[in-house]
C-alpha cells in the first residue's frame, strides 16, 4: 500500500488566496480613498454600499476561519496526529501577523495624528481666511475705484467728449488702475478708445453694461470690471479695470479650500477615532486572509509529518507494505525516502525472521515431542525385556510379573496416545464456528465432566442466566475443561474450589465479556510467569504442556485476550476477554 500527497490542490488554494489578497489590497486602497474623501460631505447611498461590502467580506472570511477552528478543535479532541504541531504553527503565524500589523497601525495613526495637528494647529485656517479676505478686499477696492472715477467723469462730461484723449491721459496719470476708457456717441458709435485692446468692449455688448453699476465680464483669458456712465446728454463712457490673471480661479480655489477645511475642522475631535475604525475595517480582512493562509501553510507543512506518523503506526501494527510518495525535493522528502528504505529493510528482515522462527519453532516442537515420546518408551522397553527374561527362564513368578508389566505398558501407551492426540489438537485446531450461546450452559457442560471428583467444587452461581456470547461452543467448552483440569492439578489432590464469574466491559467501541476463573491452588512461581502459555512447558510430572497453549490459541482465534494474576499463597485467576456479549433482554434491541 502506498500513500501519496496531492500538493496541486494545496498550491492552487494558496495561489488563489494570494491573488484574492492582492485584489483586496487594491480594492481597499480605492474604497478607502473614496470613503475618506467623501466622508466629510455626508453619508449617501454609495457610501452605505461601500461600507456594507466592506463588512460582508470579513464576515465571510470569519465564518470560514470559524469552520477551520472547529475542525481543529474536533481533530484535537479526537487525538489525531499532527494537531498539536499545527496549533503551534497557527499560534506562531498569528503572532507574526500581529507583530507586523499592530506596529504598522500604531505608526500610521501616529503619523496621521501628527500631520493633522500640524494642519489644524499651524495657522492653516488663518492663512486660508486671510487669503480669501485679501482677495475680497482687492476686488472691492477695484469696484470702489471704478465707482469713484465714474462719478468724477459725470462732472467733466463736456470736456471728455470734446477732448477725450487728453482726459484719458490725465485719468491714467491720476489713477493708473484704470485699464481702458471708451466713449460712445448717441448712435452707439465708438468715438474714442484708450487702453488695452484686450478689454475693448464691442458696441453690440454695450446694453449688457448698466449705468452706475460695476459689472464683471469674464472670458477664458481675462476677467474685467466695467462701469457705464452717461455724460453730455446722450454720450456714454465705459471704464474698465482688468483683474489679475487667474484671480477668479484663485478666489474659487480659496473658497473651496476654506469650506473643506472648516468641515474637516468640525470633525477633527472624532477624526482620529474614525481613522482607527477605518483601519480596523479595511485591515481586518487582510489579517483574516493572513490567518487563513497560515491554516493552509500549516496543513502543507505538517502533511508529510502526519503521513510519516500514520505510516509508522501502520508499521508498528505489522503492515510493512506501506510506502509514502512525495513530489517535493526538500529535507522532508529525504526523510520520506529514508523511511521507505527502512520499511523495505524491515519487511525483508521480518520475512527472514519469520522463516527462522518457523524453523526454530518446529525444531523445538520436534525436540520436545521426541523427549515426551522417549520418556514412556523406557518403561515399556524395561517391562517387555523383564517379561522376556522371565519367559525364557520359565520363572515360577512369570504369571505374577506378567499382569503388572502389561498394565505398565498399557498405561504408557495410553499416555503416548493422549500426548499425540493433544499435539494433533494443538496443530490442527479449526477456525471457530461462532454462534450465540448462553455462557452459563457452556460452563455447566464443562463442570459436569468433573462432578465425580470428591472435594473439588466448581462454583458459578454468580453467572447471569441470560448472558450470551458469540463463540464456537466446542472450542470454548474445551477452554473451560483445560482451565478446570489445570486448577485441580494445582491443588495437589487436596481438594479446593474453582469460582467462575463474568462481567460486561467496554474497550473503545467494542463490548467484551470478561470471564474470571479463580482457583484455590498453589499458584504459579514468578520464574514461570513468562512460560505459562508456551507449548510443552509444564511443572507436572505427567503433564503434556499443551493445555494452556490450546486455551490461548482458542481465545486468540476468537479475537480475545487472556492473562492471569497469581499468588503462591492465594491461587491463580485467569481472565478471558471475549468480544461480543449481551444480556438476553438486549437481544431484541439490536445491540449486537
CATH number at residue 421: 1.10.287
Sheet containing strand 467-471, strands side by side: 435-438, 467-471, 581-583
Q: Is residue 255 part of a domain?
A: no
Burial class (CB in 10 A: 0-12, 13-18, 19+), 43: exposed
Q: Is residue 326 part of a domain?
A: no
| 439 shares its domain with 568 | yes
Q: Is residue 136 part of a domain?
A: no
Residue 284 CA to residue 527 CA, distance in Å, equals: 70
Q: Is residue 386 part of a domain?
A: yes
First to last CA, the chain: 32
| 535 shares its domain with 498 | yes
C-alpha cell at 244: 489679475
Residue with cell 525472521: 353
Q: Is residue 134 part of a domain?
A: no
Instruction: Report in angstroms the alpha-carbon separations of 282 from 27, 32, 51, 199, 277.
Output: 10, 8, 10, 55, 9
Residue 228 CA to residue 237 CA, distance in Å, equals: 6
Residue with cell 480655489: 253
Who's near 18: CB < 8 A, 6+ residues apart? 293
Phi, psi of 456 (to 5 degrees): -110, 120
What is the residue range of 215's domain?
A: 146-250
| 290 shares its domain with 438 | no
CATH number at residue 474: 3.30.565.10
| 117 shares its domain with 151 | no
| 160 shares its domain with 81 | no
- Which of the listed residues 372, 395, 425 is the one where a domain comes to its end? 425
Q: Is residue 137 part of a domain?
A: no
Domain total of the chain: 4
Find out whether 85 and 305 touch, Cβ atoms under 8 Å: yes
| Nearest residue to 164 via CA among 194, 131, 198 | 194
| 436 shares its domain with 420 | no
| 395 shares its domain with 368 | yes
pLDDT at 5: 43
| 412 shares its domain with 458 | no
| 573 shares its domain with 483 | yes
pLDDT at 352: 76
Q: Is residue 261 part of a domain?
A: no
| 574 shares its domain with 456 | yes
DSSP conformational letter for 200: P
C-alpha of 203 from chain center: 86
| 65 shares its domain with 177 | no
The residue count of the chain comes to 592
Q: Is residue 256 part of a domain?
A: no
pLDDT at 371: 62
Residue 381 CA to residue 118 CA, distance in Å, equals: 123
Find out whether 570 and 523 touch, Cβ atoms under 8 Å: yes
Half-sphere exposure for 379 (CA within 13 Å, toward CB): 17
495: left (phi over 0), alpha (psi -120 to 50) or beta: left
Could you list the pLDDT tens digit for every one of the 592 residues in the chain?
444 444 454 556 667 666 766 766 676 666 666 655 555 445 555 556 655 666 676 777 788 888 888 888 888 887 777 777 778 878 887 788 778 777 777 777 777 777 777 766 657 777 778 888 888 888 888 888 888 888 877 777 677 777 888 888 888 888 888 888 888 888 888 888 888 887 888 888 777 777 778 888 876 567 888 888 887 667 888 888 888 877 777 888 888 887 877 777 776 666 667 667 766 666 777 777 777 777 777 777 777 777 777 777 777 777 767 777 765 565 667 777 777 788 777 777 777 776 676 566 566 666 666 666 766 777 788 888 888 888 888 777 777 778 888 888 888 788 778 777 766 665 666 788 889 999 999 999 888 888 777 778 889 988 888 888 999 998 898 899 888 888 888 887 677 889 999 998 887 677 889 999 998 888 888 887 877 777 666 666 555 667 788 888 889 888 889 998 988 777 899 999 998 766 545 544 333 3
pTM strictly above 0.75:
no
| 407 shares its domain with 458 | no
Which string of DSSP letters, residue by residue, matches 405-451?
Answer: HHHHHHHHHHHHHHHHHHHHHHHTPPPP--EEEEHHHHHHHHHHTTT
Amino acid at each position: 500500500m502506498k500513500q501519496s500527497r496531492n500538493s496541486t490542490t494545496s498550491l492552487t488554494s494558496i495561489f488563489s488566496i494570494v491573488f484574492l489578497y492582492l485584489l483586496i489590497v487594491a480594492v481597499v486602497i480605492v474604497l478607502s480613498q473614496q470613503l475618506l474623501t467623501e466622508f466629510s460631505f455626508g453619508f449617501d447611498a454609495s457610501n452605505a454600499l461601500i461600507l456594507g461590502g466592506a463588512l460582508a467580506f470579513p464576515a465571510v472570511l470569519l465564518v470560514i476561519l470559524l469552520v477551520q477552528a472547529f475542525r481543529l478543535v474536533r481533530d484535537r479532541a479526537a487525538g489525531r496526529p499532527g494537531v498539536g504541531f499545527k496549533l503551534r504553527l497557527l499560534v506562531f503565524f498569528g503572532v507574526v501577523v500581529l507583530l507586523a500589523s499592530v506596529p504598522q497601525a500604531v505608526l500610521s495613526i501616529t503619523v496621521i495624528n501628527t500631520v493633522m495637528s500640524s494642519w489644524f494647529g499651524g495657522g492653516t485656517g488663518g492663512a486660508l481666511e486671510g487669503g480669501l479676505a485679501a482677495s475680497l478686499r482687492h476686488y472691492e477696492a477695484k469696484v470702489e475705484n471704478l465707482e469713484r472715477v465714474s462719478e468724477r467723469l459725470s462732472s467733466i462730461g463736456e470736456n471728455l467728449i470734446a477732448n477725450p484723449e487728453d482726459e484719458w491721459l490725465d485719468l491714467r496719470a491720476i489713477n493708473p488702475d484704470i485699464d481702458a476708457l471708451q466713449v460712445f456717441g448717441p448712435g452707439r458709435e465708438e468715438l474714442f478708445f484708450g487702453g488695452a485692446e484686450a478689454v475693448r468692449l464691442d458696441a453690440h455688448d454695450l446694453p449688457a453694461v448698466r449705468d452706475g453699476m460695476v459689472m464683471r465680464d469674464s472670458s477664458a483669458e481675462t476677467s474685467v470690471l466695467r462701469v457705464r456712465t452717461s455724460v453730455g446728454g446722450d454720450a456714454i463712457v465705459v471704464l474698465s479695470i482688468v483683474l489679475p490673471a487667474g484671480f477668479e480661479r484663485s478666489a474659487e480655489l480659496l473658497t473651496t479650500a476654506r469650506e473643506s477645511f472648516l468641515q474637516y475642522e468640525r470633525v477633527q475631535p472624532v477624526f482620529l477615532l474614525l481613522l482607527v475604525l477605518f483601519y480596523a475595517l479595511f485591515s481586518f480582512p487582510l489579517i483574516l486572509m493572513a490567518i487563513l493562509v497560515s491554516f493552509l501553510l500549516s496543513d502543507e507543512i505538517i502533511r508529510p509529518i502526519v503521513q510519516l506518523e500514520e505510516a509508522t503506526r501502520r508499521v508498528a501494527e505489522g503492515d510493512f507494505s506501506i510506502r509514502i510518495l512525495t513530489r517535493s525535493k526538500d529535507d522532508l522528502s529525504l526523510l520520506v525516502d529514508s523511511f521507505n528504505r527502512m520499511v523495505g529493510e524491515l519487511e525483508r528482515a521480518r520475512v527472514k525472521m519469520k522463516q527462522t522462527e518457523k524453523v526454530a519453532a518446529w525444531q523445538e516442537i520436534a525436540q520436545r515431542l521426541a523427549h515426551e515420546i522417549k520418556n514412556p518408551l523406557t518403561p515399556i522397553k524395561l517391562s517387555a525385556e523383564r517379561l522376556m527374561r522371565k519367559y525364557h527362564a520359565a520363572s515360577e513368578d512369570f504369571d505374577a510379573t506378567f499382569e503388572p508389566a502389561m498394565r505398565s505398558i498399557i498405561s504408557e501407551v495410553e499416555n503416548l496416545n493422549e500426548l499425540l492426540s493433544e499435539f494433533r489438537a494443538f496443530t490442527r485446531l479449526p477456525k471457530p464456528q461462532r454462534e450465540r450461546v448462553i455462557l452459563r450452559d457452556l460452563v455447566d457442560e464443562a463442570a459436569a465432566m468433573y462432578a465425580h471428583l470428591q472435594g473439588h467444587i466448581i462454583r458459578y452461581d454468580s453467572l447471569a442466566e441470560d448472558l450470551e456470547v458469540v463463540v464456537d461452543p466446542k472450542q470454548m467448552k474445551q477452554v473451560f475443561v483445560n482451565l478446570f483440569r489445570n486448577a485441580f492439578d494445582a491443588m495437589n489432590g487436596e481438594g479446593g474450589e474453582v469460582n467462575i464469574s463474568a462481567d460486561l466491559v467496554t474497550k473503545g467501541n467494542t463490548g467484551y465479556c470478561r470471564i474470571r476463573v479463580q482457583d484455590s491452588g498453589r499458584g504459579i512461581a514468578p520464574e514461570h510467569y513468562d512460560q505459562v502459555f508456551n507449548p510443552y512447558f509444564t511443572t507436572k510430572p505427567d503433564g503434556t504442556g499443551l493445555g494452556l497453549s490450546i486455551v490461548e490459541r482458542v481465545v486468540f482465534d476468537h479475537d480475545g485476550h487472556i492473562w492471569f494474576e497469581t499468588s503462591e499463597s492465594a491461587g491463580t485467576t485467569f481472565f478471558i476477554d471475549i468480544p461480543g456479549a449481551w444480556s438476553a433482554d438486549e437481544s431484541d434491541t439490536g445491540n449486537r
